[in-house]
Each structure stands twice: as structure tokens, then as C-alpha cells.
Amino acid sequence: MADLEPDLDGFSGVMSARRGDEVLGEWAVGMADRTWSVPHTPDTRFGLASGTKTFTALTVLSLVGDGLLSLGTTAREILRDDLPLIADDVTIDHLLTHRSGIGDYLDEEIDALAPMTVPVQQLDSTPAYLAVLDGFETKFRAGERFSYCNGGYVVLAILAERVSGTPFPELVAQRVFAPADMTASSMPRSDSLPPQTATGYKDDGRTNVFELPVQGSGDGGAHSTVGDLHRFWLALRGGRILPAELAALATETVTDDAGDGMGYGRGIWLDGEDLLLSGGDHGVTASSRHDPRTAATVTGLANVEVPTFARVKSLMAAVRSSSR
């Protein structure tokens, strides 16, 4: 569509606008791999960084639906003696809603891009994260307020693994990717990436290979495409991932203003009527915005650190204007 022209200045990745079964526009610019001069295409897979948290929340809610967890289950019931500084009254729901108050191994209120405290190659499974999650004092009493917490979502992954008996990447694949027909999405090891995966680049031109864990967990590590993310939103709204009552828990407003005027539910950001997943890390920026009223999705995935969130919001506004 001629009137849909996203801001691609300095961008390296894919921008997409879709509505229902219709592709309104897709723009692939820059290189997925600079060494081999491989350009981006609409089928390029990108890391989603904290966008993974959306899938973690839905995976946990599906376990709630199966009776393996409840929103009121305390982390301590499952952790037992592990992570002793997590308060005994912290529940699954506190973790899902970023209202747990637990100390964070990667506290974005201090430094969103702080280096890992252990070599990243040691983080090769969800249980391996216990070493970096331990030793952080409680920040505030559970339920007191919203405070974005990466560690809380890794704790959720640990709990999900323990009650299901399934490694977390497989659990997400079974409970989110498969029912949503997200065939190009996965949580791969960084040393065994699937074909057509973009390499992430830092501002100095080096790759992010030494910055991110070998295996992602509940707070990051998922990879996807613009097409799969559109299918994801349609599947969530269509009841293929969760039954309606559990999907409603994911998208209800728990915190009215979690930052930048946006609300937060359980793993999903809320901006007016739009539902969002969003993430950023070394060499990764990802934003996918869905309007459930029109089934429109706008997604921006990049393998560089650029303001993708703002570009996606602007493109969604143009999509709305063009449909009037």
C-alpha cells in the first residue's frame, strides 16, 4: 500500500503490516549476515529478547489450565530450598505480573545491558540459571507495586519445568508454537541456530555471541519471524493457545501504568486497545503490536539496536488511518 511507508532510516531487519489473511506491506532491509552478505527477507528469523516473556506467561497459564499450577501457588512450594532469598509469599501471579518484589539478576532499573555474572556458555539450560538468580535481596513486599523483573520470568520457567517434567524450550514449543502454527519459531541454542536466522550486531559492529546465554529461558531466547508473530496473535485471540478465560487473564490490565503510559497484564503489554510483545538486548530489538478489533498486526524485528518500538507504533497508526 503506497500510504504505508515505515521509517527505515538506520534500520536492519524486517517490518511487516498485516490484517487477517492480508499482507498490507513488508519491508526487508539490511544484512542478516554481514560476513557472507546475506540480506534480510520476510522469512528471516530474529531473536525476540524479552518478547519471549509473552510466550512464558502463556505457557505458565496453560499449566494453570491443566491444574499443574495455580495463580496462587507460591514459588517456595516448588523451589523448596533453592533461591532462599525469594520470599515465601511470592506467588505465580506475582511473578507473571512483575509484582513479586524479588531481587533481579538483570535489573533494568539499574542497567538493562549489564554483563552476565557467569560466562554465558555456562547458561545452557534453565536449571543452569539458578547460579545467576541466587543472592539478590528482596526489593519490596510481594504485590506492592510493578517492577519489571527479568529474573522473575526465569523463575517461572524453572517452576514450569519442574511441574511438567519437560525442558522449558520444548514446553513453549508444545504449548505455544505448535498450536499457533508458528513453524519458524523456536528457542534454539546460540551455537545451533536454524537456517535463515539473523546474526545480532552490536553498535561497534561485533556480533552478540559473547553477550547472550547459550540457551535462553523464561526471560529471553525465543526466535521468530514477522509472519509467525502475526499467526501468534490470531491464535491467541482465536482460542488455539489458551481457552478464553485464561487468555483473558493474559490480556487484562493488572497495572494501569507500567511505564511510558502502557499497562501490563500477564506477559503482555497494553497500549490502548493494542496488545504488545516487546524486547531488546545486545544486537536485538523486537516489537509486535496487535489490534484485536481489526486483526491487524504490525511487527518490527531487527538485528541491531534501533528504536523499533516507536517505528512499529507509528506504522500501526498509518494502518489504522488507511483503513478508514
> Looking at the domain assignment, is residue 144 inside a domain?
yes
How many domains does the chain fold into?
1
pLDDT of residue 93: 98
pLDDT of residue 149: 96
- The CA distance from 186 to 167, in Å, is 13
pLDDT of residue 113: 63
DSSP 3-state assignment of 228? helix
For residue 323, is pLDDT > 90? no
Confidence of residue 1 (pLDDT cuts 50, 70, 90): very low
Between 3 and 315, name the one with better pLDDT.
315
pLDDT of residue 115: 67
* CATH number reported for the structural domain that contains residue 78 in this entry: 3.40.710.10
Domain limits for position 223 = 13-322
For residue 133, is pLDDT > 90? yes
> Looking at the domain assignment, is residue 7 inside a domain?
no
Between 209 and 114, name the one with better pLDDT.
209
Range 154-164 average pLDDT:
98
Question: Cα 71 vs. chain centroid, distance in angstroms?
Answer: 20
For residue 287, is pLDDT > 50? yes
> Looking at the domain assignment, is residue 175 inside a domain?
yes
pLDDT of residue 107: 83
pLDDT of residue 119: 87
Range 60-70 average pLDDT:
98
Measured over the CA atoms of residue 235, residue 236, residue 240 and residue 244, the dihedral's sign is negative
DSSP 3-state assignment of 201? strand
Mean pLDDT of all residues belonging to the chain: 95
- Eight-class DSSP state of 295: T
- Eight-class DSSP state of 155: H
pLDDT in tens, 226-244: 999 999 999 999 999 999 9
Confidence of residue 90 (pLDDT cuts 50, 70, 90): very high
pLDDT of residue 206: 97
pLDDT of residue 117: 76
> Looking at the domain assignment, is residue 4 inside a domain?
no
For residue 183, is pLDDT > 60? yes
> Looking at the domain assignment, is residue 235 inside a domain?
yes
Give this prediction's pTM: 0.96
> Looking at the domain assignment, is residue 114 inside a domain?
yes
pLDDT of residue 114: 66
Range 301-310 average pLDDT:
96
> Looking at the domain assignment, is residue 73 inside a domain?
yes
Range 255-266 average pLDDT:
94
CB 88 within 8 A of CB 74: yes
> Looking at the domain assignment, is residue 6 inside a domain?
no
What residues does 255 pair with on adjacent strands? 264
